[in-house]
Amino acid sequence: MYRSRRARSIENLIKTIEKLSIDPVYDTNWSDMSDDIKLKCIGKLEFKERLSLRCTAKEERSLVDSQKIKFNRGRFWGDEEDLGFQLYCDNKKMFSKCLEDINDGFELMKYIKKIGVFENLVISFENSLTNHEQFMTDDGLFTAKTVEFEHGDVDNVIAVLRKLKNTVESIEIDSEITTSDEFAKLLAISNIRNVPYWHIQDYEQTDSLHKVAQMWIHTKAKVGSTFQVSVNKNSSFHEFWEHFIDRIVSKTDKRVRIRTNDPDHHILLERGFDEVVEIGEYLTQYFRLMVITAEMNESEYNDDCKEWILKLDPEIYDEYDSDNSFDNLDDFYHEE
């Protein structure tokens, strides 16, 4: 009898515990959830789902717009008729759209700027962004680590650079920067003055090297600051060392090293190809400018320039691999 009562008591206790362990029943209607719970849910949604949710009510739009989303790549392109977007997460395309209504396109861009955190942002606009009031008056800023400009004039580049947060670490410009006046406009942009790395591909003047170095001297640029340029005219190398002749620490056919106003910092100019390489109807040369420590020894220089040239012009070696034109760069000394 005692064992029977004990067994029943244990059985009843187990049933009671089982009832207590049942999850409580929640009202799962979206409108009844707290903002904290909604925000957690929004954080799990993909981009297209967020777009749909923000269209349901003003309150939901505010919540959706407050949540950031990381993109490893984003590409914006446009002309006078269309505005297009491609967004990637984890290297997979998650959104692609081309809008024929420019106003709708800039409205979507405004949202993407607000919530997007880009590892890499690519800009390719054929028409001038300065002609679009929606873009110019929008005070939202892009958040990006690296930015690439594929096409467009200097005004487009400047318009976007002014709408970048100062988190940008790399700026790559393959646009129509052709005159000294246009280059001067770039140097006036704070993101250009402070970015750790930037380059211009196919610049048509010879003044970029000494102007960037002069800017770095004035702004006391940090060690590691790097500028690269491919130049479609001769004499950039000569113009640089002639401009800083009173600051020269050392000079060879491949490099010029100069002092800055900071005794701990020097600026080093390196020429990637010692031969002027003919590409089509242009004469192209490759240069890298860096802020280095004054203690850096010449033995620490890296003579292998292929890696940094490929960053500037990814296709250059493909054009010449067939005849091994650049297998031995030391064969290409050239006096300017």
Quick one: pLDDT band at residue 151, thresholds 50, 70, 90?
confident
Tell me the β-bridge partners of 170. Answer: 146, 197
Q: Does residue 218 have a pLDDT over 70?
A: yes
In a domain, 299, yes or no: yes
The verdict on 265 and 293 lying in the same domain is yes
Average pLDDT, the chain: 84
Q: Are residues 242 and 146 in the same domain?
A: no
Which has more pLDDT, 223 or 35? 223
Q: Mark which of 164, 195, 226 sits at the end of a domain.
A: 195
Model confidence band, residue 331 (pLDDT cutoffs 50, 70, 90): very low
pLDDT at position 184, please? 95
CATH no. for residue 276? 3.30.310
Domain count, the chain: 2
Q: Which has more confidence, 261 or 15?
A: 261
Give the lowest-confidence range in 21-25, 132-136, 245-249.
21-25
Reported as a pLDDT band with limits 50, 70 and 90, residue 4 is low
What's the confidence (pLDDT) of residue 17?
Answer: 42
Question: Domain ends where: 173, 195, 217?
Answer: 195
**Domain annotation covers residue 63:** no
> Do 310 and 232 lie in a common domain?
yes
115, 47 Cβ separation under 8 angstroms: no
**pLDDT for 6:** 54
- Whether 210 and 327 map to the same domain: the answer is yes
Residue 109 lies in a domain: yes
Inform me whether the pLDDT recorded for 140 exceeds 70: yes
Q: Ranked by mean pLDDT, which of 13-22, 28-37, 254-263, 310-319 comes out on top? A: 254-263
Share of the chain above pLDDT 90, in %: 50
**Domain for residue 284, yes or no?**
yes
Mean pLDDT, range 293-314, rounded to an integer: 91
Is the CB of residue 155 less than 8 Å from the CB of residue 129?
Answer: yes
CATH number for position 169: 3.30.420
Please check whether residue 223 is in contact with residue 292, taking contact to mean a CB–CB distance below 8 angstroms. yes
What is the reported pLDDT for 9?
54
- Claim to verify: residue 335 and residue 255 sit in the same structural domain: yes
- pLDDT range class, residue 245, cuts 50, 70, 90: very high
Q: Are residues 251 and 222 in the same domain?
A: yes
Same domain, 144 and 217: no
Establish if 51 belongs to a structural domain: no
User: What percentage of the chain's residues is helix, strand, coil (to nearest 5)?
Assistant: 40, 30, 30
Residues 6+ apart with CB under 8 A from 52: none
pTM of the model: 0.82
Q: How confident is the model at residue 327 (pLDDT cuts 50, 70, 90)?
A: very low
Give the orientation angle of helix 58-65 with respect to helix 47-54, to 10 degrees: 150
Q: 332 with 209, same domain?
A: yes
User: Is 128 in the same domain as 242?
Assistant: no
Domain boundary among 133, 168, 195: 195
Higher pLDDT: 237 or 32? It is: 237
Cβ atoms < 10 Å from Cβ of 293 = 12
Of 135-139, 272-276, 295-299, the range with the lowest mean pLDDT is 272-276
* Domain of residue 137, residue span: 68-195
Q: Is the pLDDT of residue 282 over 80?
A: no
Mean pLDDT of 239-264: 95
What six digits make up the tokens of 76? 């914006």
CB atoms within 10 A of CB 217: 19
Under the banding of pLDDT at 50, 70 and 90, the label for residue 15 is: low
Residue 107 inside a domain? The answer is yes
Tell whether 98 is covered by a domain.
yes
Domain contains 29: no
Q: What CA–CA distance (Å, rounded) separates 112 from 103?
A: 14
Asked whether residue 84 falls in the same domain as residue 178, the answer is yes
Say whether both 189 and 208 belong to one domain: no
Is the pLDDT at 178 greater than 90? The verdict is: no
Same domain for 214 and 99, yes or no, is no
